[in-house]
Structure 1
């Protein structure tokens, strides 16, 4: 004799909703491509937990008159927040490999009356800028989408001023770089960890070139830097 356990309608709906949610999450995870496709750009305007504008300000510390480079601006969520803080004498360079993303950022900047954003279409592994050109550089959920992220970090050391700073923001998705992995890559590239905010699943980390650390103290106990 077979016994069946009655299921309440509400429970059946909850189970069904959970199954649909799991399928949708799986489709999002395995369908997530790099670079992030412009056709899905609306998702880039969603504010990710742990990567808030206030958090980015606290770690990046943008200031008037600075020249800052953003890699992978997407639709400009961070760009439109950072650029006004640089003032008329400052400049935000945004670099992306997709012209559609750059065009989108510039249209939004024009609507907001921002004139200190300059777009560059290029590969982040070979930055088309001279040595020491930037006071700071940042990537928010972008580094993991770039093949050979260690090359991006090496280029960051080159284009940053000697006392410049690099900020990397990561959030748990298919292209997420765990903090421990990033720290090792940064050490190997000649970058010293200066600050970190958040957990490994959603964090912002600031690094400084070893040349800057050398002027502020001995290097023999500084990972990634050599005396």
Structure 2
């Protein structure tokens, strides 16, 4: 009877590592933008350093504010932020995929039916590079793992700055994937669009960064 040697632990580990690398490579090269609705379940996972509590710490939502989220996906952040704006507040969401917007609104309606619904959420099918809003409409604009998926991210930052109220804030969250924007690149782009860095939290591969229009910073310095 033939005898077969069992693979060594080292060989098994190497095989497992190789399989993981192949899977990661397949994910990397098939990752598409905008994120396909068919893979929406992955969007409900809280990422390290970009969790809801982390977002609260940087975004600081307050009752009565009007906020804008770009690329809300399935609503993980939107359904968390909107209730904090209270009955007088409002969260607008912008996406290029109607399926994503419909998904968020269904979840919001389900939450309301259970008596734990968010505040007002208003969907807009639009391009984040050409926002359908007037200047100075929002107290805050935020986007989490979305900026790198949009062509011409500089234009996104420029239009976000345009719709911010004086003293408003822009929060960008990025996580390492195929569309990741390193913090130093984001900082340079923000500078070029007149946005001043307020704070950054998290390592280079997973961070949240808050900005404010530089004109506001200059005015504040002059007043002081």
**Structure 1 length as normaliser, TM-score?**
0.91
Instruction: Quote the RMSD (CA, aligned, Å).
Output: 1.3
Distance 1:68 1:119 in 2: 12
After TM superposition, the structure 1 = structure 2 runs for residues 102-117 of structure 1, keeping only pairs within 5 Å, are: 102-113=101-112, 114-117=118-121
Give the conservation status (yes or no) of the 8 Å contact 2:129–2:159.
Answer: yes
Match of residue 82 from structure 1: 81
Q: Residue 58 and residue 115 in structure 1: after superposition, are their counterparts in 2 closer, same or farther (change >3 A)?
A: closer
Give the conservation status (yes or no) of the 8 Å contact 2:95–2:128.
Answer: yes
1:186 aligns with 2:190: yes
1:94 aligns with 2:98: no
CA drift at 1:93: 0.5
Deviations 1:111-162 (A, max 9, x none): 1113511100000000000000000000100000000000011101110001
CA drift at 1:15: 2.5
Deviations 1:42-85 (A, max 9, x none): 11111110101111011101000000000000011101110110
5+ residue gaps, structure 1, are 1-5, 219-227
Distance 2:175 2:81 in 1: 19
Choose which of 162, 165, 168 in structure 2 pairs with 1:158: 162
After TM superposition, the structure 1 = structure 2 runs for residues 124-163 of structure 1, keeping only pairs within 5 Å, are: 124-163=128-167
Match of residue 224 from structure 1: none
Match of residue 65 from structure 2: 66
Match of residue 122 from structure 1: 126
Distance 2:141 2:173 in 1: 11
Task: Give the number of aligned pairs.
Answer: 213
**Farther-moved stretch of structure 1 (109-118 vs 65-74):** 109-118
Q: Residue 57 and residue 115 in structure 1: after superposition, are their counterparts in 2 closer, same or farther (change >3 A)?
A: closer
5+ residue gaps, structure 2, are 113-117
Q: Specify the SS of the correspondent of 1:195.
A: strand
CA drift at 1:7: 6.5
